[in-house]
Structure 1
């Protein structure tokens, strides 16, 4: 821990800003999900699939922190709404592979367009070094989140990642 009061204050401000950003991100996700007529877990699933293309129901359960039964219900809802397809894995018929329908990605991106444009303008004001710092920071935060999720799910003691 730092004994420099200015550094300690800056770190406290950073932690506070991070918590507020997290809260606002959650509220925004709920508002977008509501606008699309989806549950937040549905939106998280679709966001994940938009990034990876296809995933098994088990992978979706892991990424959304839902039970496999809840994922099954969610996939049915998303199929009925026309967002995804779900097919048996030819290599392992017990598994279901869920795929985002590419023609529906634009529907999901539309509510984010204004925010994305503003975020792009914000980042344009940063140097390449500053952007690199932010990328490294977010990568480390993601590692910490994954370690905490593993711990909360009974996978052991989380290891600090820095």
Structure 2
């Protein structure tokens, strides 16, 4: 039983379809990653900021590390976790667990919180300056990131758990 991986229990095309429907409903960027934070699906509705971040090897490494970290937090809590990614954007992870084994996570977000993150914008910009990517373009993309209400984040978190549970049922 412990040899199961997310890719071995659920068809990746099915995961992609589930992910795309969730993104259609919430408007959030979504990806499904394995227990190491490595993407299993192709990103859906990612912000240009995040696409640009992931375009460099170092940026991708940081994103995978961040996805792994929030996925493990969610798995340990046995419920979705709201977290800030390495660049400072809101990220939500719902664990995909089968037979007590964390197989991966459904991750969404790539937004900033209204009335909270406006004060943190300069700190967020600072976190990404070290990456070997076009910083002017990154700044332009950063300025287009949406601010989202806490209520929408909480509703998306609850819905994300339903998606993760559906994936587990497919695998079981």
Is the TM-score greater than 0.5? no
Bigger strand share? 2
Give TM-score scaled by structure 1 length: 0.30
Q: Which has the larger radius of gyration?
A: 1
